[in-house]
Amino acid sequence: MAAELFEGQYVWHPAADDRALASVCVDVRAGRYRAAHEALAETRSDFALRAHRSLVLASEAASTDLVERWLDEEPTPEAALMWARVAVQRALRAADARDDRAEALERIALTACDRATGAAPADPTPWVARLAMARLHRLRDPAPHGLLTAPPGPWRLFAHILSLDPWHREAHHRFLSCFFTRHGGSVTAAWDVAAFLSQRAPGDSPLRLLPLVALVENYNPTQLLADRVWEQPQWRSTTLSIYQNWLPSVAGYRFTPVLDLAYLAHALVMGQREFEARAVFTAMGPYASRMPWSAFGDPAEQLSRARRACGLPVPGPG
């Protein structure tokens, strides 16, 4: 799917150019679930689209009782999946806020995930929802051979998801996040896991971007020459390889992968490869994501700064 041309303003909505999803979000905000059911039912054999749509819809529904009402009135696999997605979001938000209800909400989320996996055993999405909560308990399964630091983590749960969908994008990102320092991991473990997972993936897979995600996550502006890391030969080589092997495949996506494109564009700009970054921004069209830009300041300002470096237009004042 080709992105639209940039017409002077950024579009921050996570649905991006999945117009069906954007329309469903309006219905969900109005308390209606019929369109959400239809939008998810058509993704039963497209796990990447199913993960994307269910996650976006959960963010719209998490502060309402829509999924509970949906599940009570029409207990389909899609209703069960959405309950799991919403319940996990609530549990994670409560845990991060140190809310007294966090443990109770986590129990509800686990029950919701169990119901969703029972309703659709071949669907990896409910298992990915469960994986999102793994960082709360630091699961300590031993790592497989091939990792220098052999960091323990939720390897068994991750392996089960891969048995259902070997290259599930969200699963890999959720799993990697378990090793971030802010979730009790370490810089070395995050590097190790990102490298291990990306090297396993096909050359044209978005999973090749995982090291760029770890690079942003481990960014420390107080370190000497922190902003020059992307100029190092190994990072330029990694970034250019992704540009050459993954970017051409984006035109065939059912929706523009804005977040992945943003990480690639950011790495290219930081590595002083503005010519290639310009092509990535063009593929993004007007769509924008807060990461990775928010790790460096105000996301809109950082995005505009990067686009200016490539000679591209940015939104005007106001």
Question: Residue 225: which region, alpha, beta or left (left: phi > 0; alpha: psi -120 to 50)?
Answer: left
Record the tokens describing residue 206, joined without a space.
């978005």
**pLDDT tens figures, 84-114:** 999 999 999 999 999 999 999 999 999 999 9
Residue 92 pLDDT? 97
Record the tokens describing residue 25, joined without a space.
């979000």
The C-alpha angle 250, 251, 254, rounded to 5 degrees, equals 85
**pLDDT tens figures, 29-74:** 999 999 999 999 999 999 999 999 999 999 999 999 999 999 999 9
CA 185 centroid distance within chain: 19
Residue 1 pLDDT? 59
Is pTM beyond 0.75 here? yes
Note the maximum CA span of the chain. Answer: 58
Say which DSSP state 273 is in: -
Residue 2 pLDDT? 63
Looking at mean pLDDT, say which of 1-5, 134-138, 295-299 comes out highest.
295-299
Q: Is the pLDDT of residue 318 over 60?
A: no
Helices (H), the chain: 19-29, 34-41, 47-61, 66-73, 77-96, 102-119, 125-132, 155-164, 169-177, 187-200, 210-217, 233-245, 258-270, 274-284, 299-309
Please report which confidence band the pLDDT of residue 317 belongs to, taking 50, 70 and 90 as the band edges.
Answer: confident
